[in-house]
Amino acid sequence: ILRLNSMGMFLYSMNYYIVHSTATAFVQELGAQTANSASIIGATSFGALVAAFWQLCSMENELDSNGSSRLTIGYFRRVFILYSLFPVIGNIIHAIGVGKGSILIAVLGRFIVGLGSAELFHRQLLSSCLPAPHVVFESANLVHSQLFGTFCGLVIGGFLALFDVRFQVATISSLHSGSYFMACLWLFHLGSLLFKFKETDRVEVEGSHTKIENVTEQNKNNNTNFSDSGSSEGGSGTPDS
């Protein structure tokens, strides 16, 4: 589960940067202003803002009357599956837009890719379902995955921009091969979420098995038990005469 969580962060970061090498060349090929390439790149960030707003509203609805989180592993599984569909669709639309020479369709595809940003949920999974001693370590792993995705996106994007990919039935231009490549990776990740992300009660952390539990709910119960025990002790004690 934790590996799939980190993989989602890695893929999104990689997906964001993989078009940097071809956006300017695509716009110049159409004879448009070079500044339009910023729209293709930045549309993903705008989509991510929309996704973040929805995530905040969704998590707020999962709070009980005491302000405690009711998020479960099953909830995160459904959310990650949904958020993996957006990049698949968005990358395909972007590739079609590049193939048709339409900046508008390309921007739309990149916007849909941005809707697949689930960074808040990736981090919330750790704080909601892991014991406190493991949260900092796993949060650092998410940051490393994000940075590594940035590096891979720039390198692989630049490499794919060097040549066209030819098949017997079609030729994939270097300008949109990165989008098809990311769509395939997201499909593989989606399959992993469907078959490997199980609603289990255990998660492997640093080679050991730790129970997945709602930490907020556990802390609330501990505080309640402490208050009850304190009340019982106060009620049973009598002042010395």
What is the reported pLDDT for 123? 86
What is the reported pLDDT for 17? 93
What is the reported pLDDT for 58? 80
Closest CA to 29 of 237, 176, 191, 205: 176
pTM over 0.85: no
Closest CA to 14 of 156, 111, 121: 156
What is the reported pLDDT for 227? 46
Tell me: the pLDDT tens digits for 40-82? 999 999 999 999 998 888 877 766 555 556 677 888 888 899 9
What is the reported pLDDT for 135? 84
What is the reported pLDDT for 154? 92
Q: Which residues of the chain have pLDDT under 70?
A: 62-70, 165-171, 199-241
What is the reported pLDDT for 113? 95
What is the reported pLDDT for 190? 93
